[in-house]
Amino acid sequence: MTTDTLPADTETVETAAPARPHYRVIGTRPVRPDGVEKVVGRALYGADIYLPGTLYGKVVRSPHAHARIRAIDVSRAAALPGVKAIATAADLPLVEDKILVTGEGSVNQRYQSMNTLARDKVLYHGHAVAAVAAVSPHIAEEAVALIEVDYEVLPAVIDVRDAMAAGAPVLHDDLRTAEEGRKLDGPTNVAEHLRYQRGDLARGFAEADVIVEREFVTATVHQGYIEPHATTVLANADGQITIWCSTQGAFAVREQTADILQTPISRIRVIPTEIGGGFGGKLTVYLEPIAALLSRKSGYRPVKMAMSRAEVFAATGPTSASVIRVKLGATRDGRITAAQAELIYAAGAFPGSPVGAGAGVIFNCYRIPNLQIDGYDVLTNQPRAGAYRAPGGTNAAFASETVIDEVCERIGMDPIEFRLRNGVREGDYRATGPVYARIGLRETLEAARRHPHYTAPLGGPNRGRGVASGYWGNWDGTSSASATVNPDGAVSLSEGSPDIGGSRASMAMILAETLGIDVTDVHPRIVDTDSVGYNDVTGGSRTTHGTGWAVYDLGKKLIAAMSQRAAHLWEVEPEAITFADGVFSCGDHALSFKELAGRLGEAGGPVMVSTTMETTGAGPGFATHLVDVEVDPETGKVTILRYTAVQDAGTAIHPSYVEGQMQGGVAQGIGWALNEEYVYDQAGRLVNASYLDYRIPTALDLPMIDTVIVEAPNPGHPLGVRGVGETPIVPPAAAVANAIYHATGIRMTTLPMSPPRLLEAILAKES
């Protein structure tokens, strides 16, 4: 069942040496192994778990952006028939400072506890204050309405500039600014200041013929996954806790829940369900510890909790609003001489915005001799920022890539030519410091320049074309997996990386490639935390790299184990066995993998292997995007006419899902560019917590998204893989902004570039 013809919109560019090996399975497009269950509606997601005797949990949430909790009266709710348990922060143990690195950032477990259920203060509109479990969702909802919380409302701060100003309301009295291992004096909302610096900035700007300096402002945006957070938790009287949930990382849920409940980690078993989108938003726990408390307090009954869409927007982890200042100098012949950036990111109620990652993205595409990047992690009365696909990258690239477009315009140079002249290649240093191994930025630029899109006529007035490139560092991380050989020659693969976009297909393909068997003879399963070794989260674009490597390693171990069986069968030494093209042989003997599997009973018994690896070598991802827009000058509305995304995938295991990542990242980036934003009222309450008013793109808002996969194999991976999931969301906002400029002559410096904003700019320009 392999469709191996490429759709017409796709071009795969193989780059210069080292030549890509010939693959039999990798690069084809088999149907994903979990596909049928999903198209017939039988796949089970977070909210699809129903256990006998289940109770339904609901959360009481703060109506205020900032308030002190004077008292919580649960007596009326407790008296309601059908209510079985009520939990507040008083039921949570105190948690010490403990930094947990989640792969897309780090999180302090003390703050996680405070975020789970507010202790003394509520810090944002939607902050959880209490929770109820009852025999029906309706009774739980009624009980929530009966819980009385006495608040002393405090002044709130939403904008990072206000939060940094003298006299701003301070969220945490004990917070001090961290600055490379020391703490500054005095209460503040600035959790961290970081800096990258190289060369001599003043000299660099003095060498420049052109200097462009601009300030950018971007809004808070949400991942917008279609599946709301959902979990069912069963605590037993013996201390065992079983959690079914939709998550990007079962082991992360286990560790966070163990810390928050101060429970031994081994007493928690997490069974990951299918996951309905995450994009970084399902790396941390919200409901699971609450449901566990409720399960314990209700006499050990299963408790099911699912967020409403409004709760998802108000109380999970959107990504940071930001203020970014960029100054960039270049010579007339197109050489960057100096660059400076200041990034201020809203962390929300607790430290941990992706400002560090944004600082990494902002200049990492270019060779810059003199630079300084300052980042500030600033608390605001908003939900704690979570990770969102290339966290911090889209807003950073929006700033730097539009400034570069302006520099190109000022010196009269083609924007791709300028990027080729300054773009990083192997051996160059990143703006953040370390040296690059082989990377594919230049290949993406060259492929974009060759693409017919780049020179196609725009075909009408009020139209413009934009170019932008983007970087994402990617992650490798730890992965474990195991495999058993079935008598019919099929291999059962147990892995622990939740499959969020088709990774089971890639894992099956990697194992099939390694073993020389059909991809349909690999049966991958995502299993629970008691059934596979530790796995880092599905995040940081690491799964195909890290778990893919573990699966590749499993394949090698399977071949070794099978060779031993063949040796036993043929009564020779294992070293005498050769394995090639799926066949074990020795002298006149030859058995295919499948044939040998059928004879294991006489060859020394069943075969099972496992592996656990701290993988390395994550190869940075680069992309170059082209977009054509049309602007209605009377309404300020932008129509995306054509979009082409070019990206280096290292080696594309399953090209359809690589394209899918590229297309999905572009769609999210376009939403961020044009319409998506959190809207707050004067009191700091979120007023657009719905899909009606938080406007993610519909099918009618996008054209087909053409993709060009470039393959510059990652030298740090045995198959040349690099992560592809996050890079494609980095360039779109900048590319669209550049296209809008070329359509209208207006440089937009605020995201989203929504119709009222663009209209205002157009009218201001006309008058």
Partner 1 sequence: MTSRVRVEAQINGDPVEFLCEPYQSLLEVLRDVLGLTGTKEGCSNGNCGACNVLLDGVLVNSCLVLAPEVHGHEVTTIEGIAGSDGLHPIQRAFLDHAALQCGICTPGFIVAARALLDRTPHPTEQQVRHWLAGNLCRCTGYDKIVRAVLAAADTMETAR
Partner 2 sequence: MITVWVPALLRDLTGGQEVIHMQAETVRQVIEQLDARYPGIAARLLVEGRLRPGLAVVINGEVSRQGLRRRLAPGSEIHFLPALSGGA
Partner 3 sequence: MQAFDYVRAASVEDAVARLAASGGQAYVLSGGTDLIVQLREGRRSARVVVDVKGLPEFGDLSYDPDMGLLIGAATPCWRIAADAAIASAFPGLVEAISLIGGVQIQGRASIGGNLCNASPAADSIPALIVHAAVCEIAGPSGRRSLPVEEFCIAPGRTALQPGELLVRVFVPPPAQHSGAAYLRFIPRNEMDIAVVGAGAAVTLDSHGERFVAARIALGAVAPTPLYVAEAGAALAGQPVSPDTIAEAARLAREAARPIDDLRGTAAQRRHLSGVLVRRALERAVERARAR
Positions in the binding site for partner 2 (CB under 8 A): 99, 101, 103-106, 179-182, 193-198, 352, 354, 356-357, 359-361, 364, 372, 387, 391, 430, 432-437, 472-476, 540, 614, 616-618, 716
Q: Which of 45, 216, 579, 622 binds partner 1 (CB under 8 A)?
A: 45
Q: What DSSP state is assigned to residue 151? A: E
Helix H or strand E encompassing 37: helix 35-39
Q: Which is nearer to partner 3, 71 or 699 (CB)?
A: 699
Smaller CB separation from partner 3, 131 or 758: 758
Name the DSSP class of 204. H
The entry of partner 2, partner 1, partner 3, none near residue 637 (CB within 5 to 8 angstroms by kind) is: partner 3
State the residues that interact with partner 3 by CB under 8 A.
138, 141, 634-637, 674-675, 679, 687-688, 691-693, 695, 697-698, 700-701, 754-756, 759-760, 763
Task: Identify which of 334, 333, 337, 327 has the alpha carbon closest to the alpha carbon of residue 208.
Answer: 337
Minimal distance in Å, beta carbon 681 to partner 3? 9
**Minimal distance, residue 281 CB to partner 1, in Å:** 10
By CB under 8 A, tell whether 309 contacts partner 1.
Answer: yes
- Binding residue for partner 1 (CB under 8 A) from 17, 19, 90, 700? 700
The closest of 744, 571, 754, 720 to 648, measured between CA atoms, is 720
Contact residue for partner 1 among 298, 663, 714, 738 (CB under 8 A): 663
Name the segment binding partner 1 (CB under 8 A); options: 107-115, 195-203, 357-365, 689-697: 689-697
Beta carbon of residue 307, minimum distance to partner 3 (angstroms, whole number)? 15
Beta carbon of residue 551, minimum distance to partner 1 (angstroms, whole number) = 20
Whole-angstrom Cα distance, residue 472 to residue 669? 14
Number of Cβ within 10 Å of residue 186's Cβ equals 9
Binding partner 1 (rule: CB under 8 A), the pick from 40, 71, 90, 764 is 40
Reduced to 3 states, what is the DSSP secondary structure of residue 608?
strand
Q: Under the criterion CB under 8 A, does residue 696 sit at the interface with partner 1?
A: yes
Return the number of the residue (466 or 621) whose C-beta is nearest partner 2. 621
Using a 10 angstrom Cβ sphere, with 0-12 exposed, 13-18 middle and 19 or more buried, the burial of residue 160 is buried
**702 lies in the site for partner 1, by CB under 8 A:** yes
Q: Where are the alpha helices (DSSP H) in 233-351?
A: 250-261, 288-297, 309-315
The answer to whether the beta carbons of residues 534 and 615 sit under 8 Å apart is: no
679 binds, among partner 3, partner 2, partner 1, none (CB under 5 to 8 A by kind): partner 3
The residues facing 705 across adjacent strands are: 643
Q: At what angle do helices 355-363 and 393-411 cross, to 10 degrees?
A: 30
Binding to partner 1 (CB under 8 A) within 249-288 occurs at: 274-279
Residue 193 binds which entry of partner 3, partner 2, partner 1, none, CB below 5-8 Å type-dependent: partner 2
Select the binding partner of residue 400 from partner 1, partner 3, partner 2, none (C-beta < 5 to 8 A, by kind).
none
The option from partner 1, partner 2, partner 3, none interacting with 3 (CB < 5 to 8 A, set by class) reads partner 1
Say which entry of partner 3, partner 1, partner 2, none residue 674 contacts (CB below 5 to 8 A, set by partner kind). partner 3
Query: Judged by CB under 8 A, which stretch of 147-155, 552-560, 613-621, 701-709 contacts partner 1?
Result: 701-709
Burial pattern 201-237, b for ≥16 Cβ within 10 A else e, equals beebbebbebbbeeebbbbbbbbbbebbbbbbbbbee
B/e letters for 452-487, b = 16+ CB within 10 Å, e = fewer, are ebbeeebeeeebbbbbbbbbbbbbbbbbbbbbbbbe
Please check whether residue 716 is in contact with residue 652, taking contact to mean a CB–CB distance below 8 angstroms.
no
Q: What is the crossing angle of helices 415-422 and 393-411, to 10°?
A: 110
Q: Which is nearer to partner 3, 210 or 759 (CB)?
A: 759
444 closest CA partner among 627, 640, 644: 644
Q: Which residues bind partner 1 (CB under 8 A)?
A: 3, 7, 29, 31-32, 34-36, 38-45, 47-48, 50, 137-138, 223-228, 274-279, 306, 308-309, 500-502, 654, 656-657, 659-660, 663-664, 666-668, 690-692, 696-700, 702, 704-705
